[in-house]
């Protein structure tokens, strides 16, 4: 009997990353004294009140999440940064975020933050384990905490680029909320992400280079098939221009192998008749007028008859500066 009991408790705990509650143990036939003996001997270790880990060693992030959920009750869900981590578009949380229905009042726990909402049933994902908010709702919860539009943009882009949600689904979820921080800004970001700007740097290029300087609109994430393989170009100005713009973010290259692959793709594009320009985050952020000048020059070499316009009174893009930008492109 004891062996069977131990097997059942192990299986239950394993489903929760080694975490079990006092109530669950008692339902499986453990008495208060039996539970107390396991705690005293160190076989089980308390995490929160009436919540224990049955596994040795440090608590994993997933175990901390389960501990918070089991403490909060069956209708609690992981939310905010914790839900983003569970779904794969956020970093491991230093603090576990748990949402519970109003008007529940839970005592605060070290390393756990509770959120109370009247709309939890609608925002809860119907099937995922551990229970969590739907991806769109997680995105909107984190947007409420965003300090800048850049943070908002990066968040939306990460979730959509991972194919976990879409701009349309986020917009529908946003319409259901009476109050939402950054509502106007979010609408513009969703439109740009829907149009293919799948990263913060790509949206910066769209706004600060193309729109601000009146350049032709390139296509985003443009598919090119070569030797039976698919390649996606960050920005592509199609025929008759055939100009490729590649954008390297702050973590765009993780090593020499990535640089060699980029170089091979660039060389292959040139041999196929495309003109390739490559810019980094610092170029687009600090030298948008110079970047625009180089892109305009490339387009004009390929037949564009338009002229870029100054982005403001102090813009450095002038006809005589198209050949050689006044300050040049920045390099690390």
Answer whether the bond into residue 240 is a cis peptide, omega within 30°.
yes
Residue 64 lies inside a defined structural domain of this protein: no
Whether 217 and 279 map to the same domain: the answer is yes
Nearest Cα residue to 78 out of 60, 56, 100, 111 = 100
Residues 226 and 313 in one domain: yes
Q: What total number of domains does the chain contain?
A: 3
CATH number at residue 283: 3.40.960.10
pLDDT in tens, the chain (332 residues): 456 667 788 888 889 999 999 999 999 889 999 999 999 999 999 999 999 999 999 999 999 999 999 999 999 999 999 999 999 999 999 999 999 998 877 878 899 999 999 999 999 999 999 999 999 999 999 999 999 999 999 999 999 999 999 999 999 999 999 999 999 999 999 999 998 888 899 999 999 999 999 999 999 989 988 888 899 999 999 989 999 999 987 655 556 777 888 888 999 999 999 999 999 999 999 999 999 999 999 999 999 999 999 998 889 786 444 444 444 454 44
Co-location of 25 and 83 in the same domain: no
Which residue segment(s) compose the domain that 19 sits in? 2-59
The per-residue pLDDT of the chain, averaged, comes to 90
Last residue of some domain: 163, 194, 225? 194
Instruction: State whether 210 and 311 are in the same domain.
Output: yes
End residue of a domain, out of 14, 31, 59: 59
């Amino acid at each position: 009997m004891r062996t069977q009991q131990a097997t059942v408790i192990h299986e239950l705990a394993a489903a929760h990353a080694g975490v079990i509650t006092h109530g669950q143990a008692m339902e499986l036939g453990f008495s208060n004294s039996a539970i107390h003996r396991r705690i005293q001997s160190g076989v089980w270790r308390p995490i929160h009140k009436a919540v224990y880990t049955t596994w040795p060693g440090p608590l994993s992030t997933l175990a901390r999440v389960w501990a918070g959920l089991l403490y909060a009750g069956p209708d609690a869900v992981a939310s905010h940064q914790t839900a983003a981590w569970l779904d794969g578009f956020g970093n491991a949380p230093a603090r576990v975020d748990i949402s519970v229905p109003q008007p529940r009042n839970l005592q605060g726990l070290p390393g756990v933050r509770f959120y109370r909402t009247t709309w939890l049933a609608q925002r809860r994902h119907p099937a995922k384990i551990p229970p969590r908010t739907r991806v769109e709702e997680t995105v909107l919860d984190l947007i409420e905490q965003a300090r800048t539009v850049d943070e908002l943009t990066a968040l939306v882009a990460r979730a959509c680029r991972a194919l976990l949600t879409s701009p349309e689904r986020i917009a529908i979820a946003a319409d259901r909320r009476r109050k939402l921080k950054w509502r106007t800004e979010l609408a513009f970001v969703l439109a740009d992400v829907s149009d293919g700007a799948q990263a913060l740097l790509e949206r910066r290029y769209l706004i600060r280079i193309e729109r601000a300087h009146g350049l032709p609109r390139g296509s985003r994430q443009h598919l090119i098939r070569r030797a039976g393989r698919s390649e996606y170009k960050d920005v592509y100005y199609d025929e008759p221009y055939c100009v490729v713009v590649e954008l390297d973010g702050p973590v765009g290259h993780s090593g020499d192998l990535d640089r060699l692959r980029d170089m091979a793709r660039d060389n292959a594009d040139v041999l196929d008749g495309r003109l390739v320009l490559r810019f980094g985050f610092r170029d687009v952020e600090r030298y948008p007028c110079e970047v625009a000048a180089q892109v305009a020059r490339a387009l004009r070499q390929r037949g564009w008859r338009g002229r870029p316009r100054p982005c403001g009174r102090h813009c450095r893009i002038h006809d005589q500066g198209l050949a050689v930008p006044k300050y040049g492109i920045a390099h690390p």
